[in-house]
Chain A
Amino acid sequence: MIWSSFSDFWSMGGYGLYVWGSFGVTAALLAAEAFWIRRGRQNALNHVVAELQAADANGKDWR
């Protein structure tokens, strides 16, 4: 182990702001993307089902 304490690790030899600013924003954006794509799938499924039901209601077999 190269760190003597947690605060030593946290301060990153004085570069804490830059190192954690890089890692933090990267983690946040990747987590956000994972959330977006889940919502995207939900939206896509809802869209498909809404159109199917609209077609059923019209009684048209356009498929």
Chain B
Amino acid sequence: MIRKLFYFSSPQNFYPLAGKLWPVFACLATALTVWGLWLGMFVAPTDVQQGEGYRIIYVHVPVSWMSMVIYLAMAFWALLGLTFNTRLSGMLTNALAPTGAIFAFLSLWTGALWGKPMWGTWWVWDARLTSELILFFLYLGFIALTSAIDDARRADKAGAILALVGALNVPVIYFSVKWWNTLHQGASVSLTKGSSMQQTMLEAMLIMAVAFWMYAIAMTLYRVRSIILIRERHSQWVADLPEVKALSLEART
């Protein structure tokens, strides 16, 4: 097992593995989305308090969770990269960031569209919303910082430090509804107290959360392959790849 981990921590070995795995995760994401949306939009009942407007929950909660999970995953790879100096860690951190930024944006967007009919406002500077906005800026900052530094290794180091320091914001987002008096409601699903939601609603939301998780993995695996190609372009194994050879032949003729 440990030996396998070491084997796949080399970009050369991870590239074909990622190529085999991303379609699996993409298929899982599609199937789960169809299932989750069907359950959420056609089976789950109307909410007593919020009518049909509550159905935003099937995107809002999963994208918000994923925006935090992806940032924690970035911090994890950043820490691994800083301590063991593994090349793949920095590439994975980079591959995660754009998907995380999209999820953070979607969290704010769907939140605004939910806030308007329920609270009467698109936006308030409450602790939950503000800390999620900071998360979105952290993603943008990470992308800007790493792309501004030409040397890939130095970019990885700088990015890793930002990812680690920024990770302190994630628990702040999660617990903000407890620590402060926020307009944003408290958690409907909690690990300690269970759920206050109706069963079908809860199931649909959790299925959508897993679907977005699979989607994020598929995107990251696909994107990391491009990053590996660019960073390892001077090595022989890249020149020997069938897709590179095919394109070389095409370009020559």
Task: Report B166-203 CB contacts with A as 1/0, cut-off 8 Å.
Answer: 00000000000000000000000000000000000000
Please give the distance in Å from B41's CB to the nearest CB on chain A: 8
- Quick check: is A6 within 8 A (CB to CB) of the other chain? no
Q: Is the CB of A37 within 8 A of B226?
A: yes
Residues on B with C-beta less than 8 A from A18 are 53, 56, 113-114, 116-117
Q: Is the CB of A22 within 8 A of B233?
A: no
- Quick check: is A47 within 8 A (CB to CB) of the other chain? yes
Interface residues of A (CB under 8 A from B): 1-3, 9, 12-15, 17-19, 21-23, 25-26, 29-30, 33-34, 36-37, 40-41, 43-53, 62-63
From A12, A34, A37, A51, give the contact of B52 (CB < 8 A): A12
In chain B, residues 197-253, which have Cβ atoms closer than 8 Å to a Cβ of chain A?
215, 219, 222-223, 225-227, 229-230, 233-236, 238-239, 243-244, 247-248, 251-252
Q: Is the CB of A47 within 8 A of B53?
A: no
Residues on B with C-beta less than 8 A from A1 are 42
From B43, B55, B110, B247, give the contact of A49 (CB < 8 A): B247
Inter-chain CA distance A15–B114, complex, in Å, is 9
- Quick check: is B105 within 8 A (CB to CB) of the other chain? yes
Please give the distance in Å from B134's CB to the nearest CB on chain A: 20
The contact size tier of chain B is 35 or more
- Quick check: is B92 within 8 A (CB to CB) of the other chain? no
Extra contacts, 14 of them, besides A22-B110, A22-B114, A37-B222 (Cβ < 8 A), are A13-B51, A15-B117, A18-B114, A18-B116, A19-B53, A22-B109, A25-B110, A26-B109, A40-B223, A45-B229, A47-B230, A49-B247, A49-B248, A51-B233
Residues on B with C-beta less than 8 A from A43 are 226
Known: A18-B117, A53-B248. A47 touches B233 (CB 8 A): yes
Inter-chain CA distance A1–B222, complex, in Å, is 38
Inter-chain CA distance A49–B230, complex, in Å, is 10
Please give the distance in Å from B143's CB to the nearest CB on chain A: 13
